[in-house]
Structure 1
């Protein structure tokens, strides 16, 4: 039960980078007032509260690592690490391994945010941002290249690289018989951080990772990179693993229920 290369399915969670926002707009305000001011400025700029890419602060990176006999969820949050340390830990993966990255909207959001925040802290990440200057083999097959599988951004791929066709992970996961976000949205992230609810934060982020992984398995099946029996093995392996992860008992139960909505996924728990 192995892919040809290690696979890293990942997701990040962010809040508004108040220090950078204060610097950009010359705001001499408390955190709460600065947050409100930045949201108002953003609404005036674009009609949305969602910050510009350089004004995101990474509070959590979660991933699912699949390599040979290893199958493991992990999360780094600001409960234990500074933002800089979280970024360093993520970047260090690529100095040791060259996994296939899998994400949902990672090419347009997650990796650009990681890039901007790495620039902010003066970090170096040559393996992650290599574009063929030092390794000619990565000139066209690198983590930034939109059309090659070293980074498979499922949102982009399933949309045919056409923004008009973009779908939400929550919608696609539910249509395919998986749990989706289960009524929880990214708007909870700031409250989780403010109230130090770190387990809620990491569980939410890991839930997105798990949904992305399940959609990725279906994509690999569609493309013929794995066969029906291999897909069934990976589903069984994922369920077996989640049975050991108490923080995802609700995800597993919701998956059991949602799987009944599709003839294909109804077999997941047989």
Structure 2
């Protein structure tokens, strides 16, 4: 496993202003979202908006440095505009070149970041260069799905076949991890509207943590870490989360879900009475 590693996830809302501009709508704010949903259903048969209309309200990440030290972080609309969130996230790549890990990042998170960065007039060559600036990135960059600099676990675990894509929640549960714990992205608008920032960041960080745990299992499968290395990484993750109060629920649920598979029962060794 090549360190440092950055596992990340984003949360979004519909950009009503851009949607109104795109479709030429002149409606009160409270009617815009319903109108955009109706138009999207007519276009595609689904509610999920096209990527450029996703406004980022949170980016969370787990940074694992060369020494294995972990840092869980979030940039959200509680303290930052969308442009500031993007600037903070993109600046990471100006200083370091981590292995980027995501779930569906190549089809959603990275394209959304690309569109929104362009919308705000930002520059991010370290993330989007494909060899035009650094010739080495022709052979290993963050965009090419067959390169190793960005590991989209949903994609690689499906063997790059869309028919085999799985939901993060399902994959996590099957492997003995907490998953989304009964919460989904449908709650994001409510969290933002009610300024429930801790719920927003905890949810996004939970997706990051599930992705990290699945990445460890993927690395074990690929032979990039040994079984003992995997055990040590799991214990290091548990130890780190014990010092993160906002992830107490994640840790408690993990303790329960770990009992669902024989392999993960060892994650939380039982103590004698």
Gapped regions of structure 2 (runs ≥ 5): none
Give the equivalent residue in structure 2 for 1:10.
Answer: 8
TM-superposition CA deviations, 1:86-122 (whole Å, max 9, x none) = 0000110000000000000000000000000011011
Q: Distance in 2 between the 1:5 and 1:216 partners? A: 13
- The aligned residue for residue 142 of structure 1 is 141
Partner of 2:191: helix, strand, or coil?
helix
Paired position in structure 1 for 2:197: 198
- Counterpart-to-counterpart distance in 2, 1:42 and 1:254: 36
Q: TM-score, normalised by structure 1?
A: 0.98
Return the offset for 1:160: 0.4
The answer for unaligned runs of 5 or more in structure 1 is: none
The yes-or-no answer on 1:209 pairing with 2:186 is no
Equivalent residue runs for 1:102-113 within 5 Å: 102-113=101-112
Q: Map 1:4-153; keep pairs closer than 5 Å.
A: 4-69=2-67, 70-153=69-152
Q: Is the 8 A contact 2:2 2:99 kept in 1?
A: no
Q: Give me the whole-angstrom Cα distance separating, in 1, the residues matched to 2:5 and 2:28.
A: 42
How far did residue 151 of structure 1 move? 0.1
Question: Where in structure 1 do 4 or more consecutive aligned residues deviate above 3 Å?
Answer: none
SS of 1:12 mapped into structure 2: strand
Q: Say what the alpha-carbon RMSD is for the aligned residues.
A: 0.8
Please say if 1:157 is aligned against 2:156.
Answer: yes
Q: Give, in angstroms, the shift of residue 5 of structure 1.
A: 2.5
Q: Distance in 2 between matches of 1:97 and 1:4?
A: 13
| Distance in 1 (alpha carbons) for counterparts of 2:3 and 2:236 | 18
Per-residue deviation, 1:211:
0.3
**Matched-pair contact (CA < 8 Å) for 2:54–2:112:** yes
Deviations 1:140-168 (A, max 9, x none): 21000100110000000000000001011
Map of 1:227 onto structure 2: 226
